[in-house]
Every structure is written in C-alpha cells, then in structure tokens.
Amino acid sequence: MARFVIRRLLQSAVVLLGVTVVVFLLLQLVPGDPVRVALGTRFDPQTYEALRARAGLDQPLVVQYFDYLRRALTGDLGVSFRSGRPVTAIVLERLPATLSLAVTAVVFAMLIAFPLGIVSAIRSGSLVDHAARVFSQFGVSVPDFWMGIMGILLFSGVLGWLPPSGYVALTEDPGRWASHVALPAATVGLVTASILTRFIRSSMLEVLSEDYVRTAEAKGLRTRVVVLRHVLRNALIPVVTVVAVQLASLLGGVIVIEVLFAWPGIGRLTYDAVAARDYPVLQGAVLLVAALFLLVNLLVDVLYARLDPRITVK
C-alpha cells in the first residue's frame, strides 16, 4: 500500500506539472493586458512598467514559466494583480467556505440518495421506484441556478426562514453557518442526489441479480440481512466513484451557485479572477482544484481495496 501511495503521489506531481503548463499557455492567449486592467483609471506609464517588472511580465515566456514553477514549489503562487496580496493566502482563505459547502452538499445528497436508491432497487417497479426515477430525472434536467432562485424566493422571500445569501464561518458561529449553508447546499445536494440515486439503483439491481444473492435468500436469510451484508457492500464500488467525482467537482467550486448565493468559495474566486484578468489568482485556484481532484482520486483508490478484498493495489 505504501509503495502504491508513493507512486500515485509521483504521478500526481507529473499531472500538476502538466496543469501548470497548460494553464500558463492558455492564459497567454487571453486578450487584454492584466496590469492595465488592474490599474484602471490610476494608469500612468511609470507605475505600469513597475508593476509589469514586479510581476515578471517583462521577461520572455519561458523565463516567466520557470520562475513561476520555482516559486510554486516553495508555496509562493505570486501576488494578486488586483489586491496586491499573496495568492496562496487568498486561495487558502476561500478554501474553508468551499469545503464546508461541498461536504454539506454531499452529505445531504447521500442522506436522500442511499435510502431512495436502495428501496427503489428492492421494490423495482413499485410506486416508490417510479417516484425515485422521476426525482432523479427532475434533478438532472432542472438547472441548479433555477432551483437556487426558487429556494431563495420560497425560504427567504415568502417564509423568511433562511438568509438569501452570505457566509458565516463554521468556527465563528455554527448556528448562523448552518442557516447560511442550508440553501446553497440543498440546491447543489438535490442535483447530486438525483445523480447518485440513479447509480445506486442500477448498481443495486445488478448485484441483486447475482447467484450468491439468490443463494442467500434461498437459505432463508431476511431481506435486510441480505441487502446490508451481501448486496450493499458490493454495490458500493461503482457508487464510491460517483460520490468521489461529485465531491471533487464541488471542491472545485460551483461557480453559478457561489455567485448566486454570494458564497466566498473557490468558484467565486475563479469567477472574479477571470473578470478582473487576475492571472496569478486564477492560476493558483486552478492548481488547487487540480490538487484536490488528485487527492480525492487517491483516497478513492485506497478505499476500493478496503471495500473489496479482491481489489489489490500494487
């Protein structure tokens, strides 16, 4: 296991290196001068040249890239063109908001998807099964921003139960954090739950048709025991992949939802960086998202071996 983890970490380092190359080259194709945009009405030639020299933009592209890579290896992702603050500090400030939203949304989705998907598979063709499939199709088809707007109108505008936007840190006030995270997490969670429900149902149906399940039922084991001991664990393997992909995508930031609910996460940071042509912040955000994706994939591979002893990691 240790050798496997070390090898995957080395592979992840290569992937991150490729991400830095691709992002750096793509940003060179974006029209406009980021330093000129950052200065705005305060533009004057001397300040402009000084900022370009400070950012290293007066150097050849190859020199710019290797200078960025050298600094990134020490944790220095540069300085924001807009605020003048270190990019590392800005990105890490936004990470807790994204983590809290992503984890809450995934937990909310699993609380809906697992019971619904399991019951739907066990009672295939029943009213519950039809309702689950309608819910799944509805969640996938309806845009999340529309559900977010409807949630704000209902729970904030009409009922007045929840705040329409904003963010409070979990460590600052758990109660206010819960009230602020409820709407965006439910909006994202419903979409995630609809996707998970379909995968859980199909995975459960596939395992339920296996011979060993019919043998267990023929021995007189109760349905609950068969499902929990024999079916669910084997059905979890493909479901874990879907959960991991959904979690990784949410950790990358749900831009539309974060903008709609004024949630100061990685997605909102990326959106603001693109709008302001703040390239160092954009590079830092993309690099963090890529690292989170790779970390989640590594954890899933290790979890596979725990769920199914037949799976070996080498």
Residue 235 falls within a domain, yes or no?
A: yes
Q: Please report which confidence band the pLDDT of residue 40 belongs to, taking 50, 70 and 90 as the band edges.
A: low
Residue 78 falls within a domain, yes or no?
A: no
Residue 111 falls within a domain, yes or no?
A: yes
Residue 251 falls within a domain, yes or no?
A: yes
According to the model, what pLDDT value does residue 248 have? Answer: 78
According to the model, what pLDDT value does residue 288 have? Answer: 84
Residues 114, 308: Cα–Cα separation, whole Å: 19
CA 72 from chain centre, in angstroms, equals: 23
According to the model, what pLDDT value does residue 55 have? Answer: 66
According to the model, what pLDDT value does residue 39 have? Answer: 64
Residue 64 falls within a domain, yes or no?
A: no
Residue 84 falls within a domain, yes or no?
A: no
Give mean pLDDT, residues 65-77. Answer: 81
Residue 144 falls within a domain, yes or no?
A: yes
Q: Quote the number of domains for the chain.
A: 1
Residues 51, 57: Cα–Cα separation, whole Å: 9
CB atoms within 10 A of CB 178: 15
C-alpha pair distances (Å), 97 with each of 166, 213, 262: 11, 43, 11
Tell me the CATH number at 121.
Answer: 1.10.3720.10
Q: Is the pLDDT reported for residue 314 higher than 60?
A: no
C-alpha pair distances (Å), 100 with each of 51, 178, 182, 259: 36, 10, 11, 16
Q: What angle do CA 168, 173, 175 make, to 5 degrees?
A: 95
Q: What angle do CA 101, 105, 109 make, to 5 degrees?
A: 175
> DSSP letter string over 186-201?
HHHHHHHHHHHHHHHH
According to the model, what pLDDT value does residue 311 have? Answer: 59
For 127-154, the pLDDT digits (tens) are: 888 888 888 888 778 887 888 888 888 8
pTM: 0.79
Residues 311, 252: Cα–Cα separation, whole Å: 29
Residues 177, 174: Cα–Cα separation, whole Å: 5
**Residue 246 in tokens:** 């959904």
Give Rg (Cα) of the chain.
24
For 252-264, the pLDDT digits (tens) are: 667 888 888 888 8
Residues 28, 155: Cα–Cα separation, whole Å: 44
According to the model, what pLDDT value does residue 10 have? Answer: 82
The domain of 178 spans 95-273
Q: Please report which confidence band the pLDDT of residue 33 belongs to, taking 50, 70 and 90 as the band edges.
A: low
Residue 153 falls within a domain, yes or no?
A: yes
> DSSP letter string over 71-103?
HHTTT---B-TTT-SBHHHHHHHHHHHHHHHHH
Rounded to 10 deg, the angle between the 266-276 and 279-307 helix axes is 150
SS3 309: coil
